[in-house]
Amino acid sequence: MKNDYKIILASNSPRRKELLSQIGFEFEVWPSNCEEVISQTEPSKVCTELSRLKALDVASGIRTYNENHPGLAQDRDLIVIGSDTIVALNDEILGKPKDDEDAKKMLKKLSGREHSVYTGVTFVFMSSDGRVGEHSFYEKTDVFVYDIDDDEIKEYVDSGEPLDKAGAYGIQGSFGKYIKKIEGDYYNVVGLPVSRLYHELKNIIE
């Protein structure tokens, strides 16, 4: 992929940074701090809207920075990448657990069942001559979880892994032993659908 753009990742998630690096992207990190206010309830629309809010928030921060630092003005075209991952069990959206008890409840719900992980991604393009554009998409992966007994749930929650993760689990950690199978992109469950992202960007840039 020819790429003269400077890529800005609008996320401080160590997993997203690792995934973008894994596929060979060079990028800078400018985390978004926007409030996650949404008007949608459908999982695919919620994650897409949140990814857009994050990308636009960072793009707006960059514009303000450019206006205040004319000497350091943007000399290359930029792409800001915003993304948001949510876990949905039927129509219920599971966010990050509030505490250990909440994590246990979520894991009990996921045990022995199928759920879906959605990641929304928004690109905001900012050319050096001031033009702006945007493009959003989402990717869905179905995840099938083995039965998890109370001892196993307690052990996993005690490990501290659930607390910063939507749905109270990370597929890439010790929870991998409870994932029977998936249908879709594995990295989408980790937090960024890198193959879809790469191809969407390739189609736009080339």
Q: Which of 173, 175, 171 is nearest to 153 (CA)?
A: 175
Least Å from the CB of residue 144 to a second copy: 10
For the chain, the distance separating the N- and C-terminal CA atoms, rounded to the nearest angstrom, is 7
CA distance 148 to 162: 15
Q: Which two three-digit tokens encode residue 108?
A: 């009990």
Least Å from the CB of residue 183 to a second copy: 5
Least Å from the CB of residue 73 to a second copy: 32
Residue (154 or 177) nearer to a second copy, CB? 177
Residue 3 C-alpha from the chain's centroid:
22
Which chain residues interact with a second copy by CB under 8 A? 19, 22-24, 141, 146, 171, 173-174, 176-187, 194-196, 198-199
Residue (30 or 178) nearer to a second copy, CB? 178
Residue (56 or 123) nearer to a second copy, CB? 123
User: Is 99 considered catalytic here?
Assistant: no
Residue (49 or 139) nearer to a second copy, CB? 139
| Catalytic residue, candidates 84, 100, 151, 164 | 84
- H/E stretch holding 78 reads strand 78-89
CA distance 77 to 124: 11
Q: Which of 97, 116, 99, 125 is nearest to 7 (CA)?
A: 125
Least Å from the CB of residue 112 to a second copy: 12
Q: Which residues are catalytic?
A: 84
